Amino acid sequence: MSVDPVVVENKSPTINEEFKAAVQDGNLKAVVSIAQQMRKSPRLFEIAVVGESGSGKSSFVNALLGLADDDIGAAEGGMVETTDWSIIYSHPEYPNVLLCDLPGIGAPNFQSVEHEITDTYLLGYDFFLIVTATCFRDTHASLAQKIQENAKKFYFVRSKVDQDLGAEKRKPNYSEATTLWQIREDCQAQLQKAGVNDPQVFLLSSWESDKHDFPLLKENLDKELRHAMLQKLLDISCRTLQEKKTAMQKTTRKPATLSSGPGAIPLPGLSLVADMAVLVDCMRDYCKDFGLNSDSLSALAELVGKQEEDLKAVIRSPLATEITIDLVLKLLEKYVGEGVTYLTYFAWSVPVVGSLFSAQVSFGTTVFMLDNFISNLAEDAQRILVKALEGEEKKSKQHHQ
């Protein structure tokens, strides 16, 4: 087996841009379809493997890749620092996950913990594996603290425990379980002392990937990857929907003006009919723009293998076909209470003065109602994507099992 390492200079945004564009277009089927591709595409999620020179980082990377140190494409290791730059390897089970073998802490290319964590590590990577072959040190604490402060996660990997066990075997009353327990307790205590919450520590030997905590680490990392990839996609969709919401809310002045304009014409009944016709069409279009219409949801349900009603169950706003004059009246009343009814009556009773006053108030009320309606649609679209993509995460879990 061979793995070709590559040094990543620039990250291609193509598939991310396609995902964002589908969210912007309200094409929920395309959003999930592209998300399925992103799970198989490169450079979605990057794991930094970091530790001191000689800690066994490269052997650890090879063990994760299922390679021996002398296999073609394996990470280089040795008594001296061999990683002069970040070398990237594709995860054997998740092609879109990259394992990044970074220069050892203390190596010339590392410079300093404080500088590198701020400028490179936290900006460029999604998850961290801190590897050490020795006792817990201040550099590990600094690294763990910085990662935690920036809301990112890490595992603390105590490598080469086979050497610790070999040394302890010479002592009387040797117990492998006791030795491993002592090493684990020390690591966890030191991390907690440094302010790290709920530290996860794994004891292993890269030469024995079927022993100690190695199988547990791979299992937990698999769960982290599936959850993190889902969360990353949902973060992208959430930001994109917020941008779309903001842009669409800037357009509500036009339908509000059109709907309130006839109210200034002193003809009884014209204001109400004209207002409602404009708003019904406008709000139906907003629903379709977010993909909250029957055709869109039906296509999405078929793609993810769910019932359309199950997807609709998480929607709190009305669908396009549910928007009627009565519904628009109720939404307006929600924001101004009886004021809408009163102002409409007042406009009819006092044709000129009353209708001009009604038109002015109706404009502000309509804008406010439409802005809130759009905001609710954006939240509903995100809820739909959460439901659909959670299904994809379960499929991924079953596939790997």
- Distance, in Å, from the CA atom of 158 to the CA atom of 186, rounded to the nearest integer, reads 11
Sign of dihedral through CA atoms 155, 15, 300, 249?
Answer: positive
The tokens describing 64, both together, are 């994760």
Which residue in 194, 213, 41 sits closest to 131, CA to CA?
213
Mean per-residue pLDDT over the chain, rounded: 75
Level-2 CATH architecture, domain 42-212: 3-Layer(aba) Sandwich (3.40)
Instruction: Please give the single-letter amino acid code of residue 333.
Output: E
Q: Report pLDDT digits (tens) over 165-221.
A: 888 888 888 888 888 998 888 888 888 888 888 888 999 888 888 888 999 998 888
Structural domain boundaries of the chain? 42-212, 243-400
pTM score, whole prediction = 0.64
- Distance, in Å, from the CA atom of 278 to the CA atom of 176, rounded to the nearest integer, reads 77
Other Cβ atoms within 10 Å of 250 Cβ, number: 9
CB 325 within 8 A of CB 280: yes
Residue of higher predicted confidence among 192 and 228: 192
- Distance, in Å, from the CA atom of 154 to the CA atom of 49, rounded to the nearest integer, reads 10
Q: How many residues does the chain have?
A: 401
Q: Report pLDDT digits (tens) over 299-351.
A: 999 988 888 899 999 999 988 889 988 888 888 777 765 444 444 444 444 34
Q: Report pLDDT digits (tens) over 60-75.
A: 888 888 776 666 555 6
- Is the pLDDT at 400 greater than 90, yes or no? no
**Burial of 305 by CB count in 10 Å (0-12 exposed, 13-18 middle, 19+ buried)?**
exposed
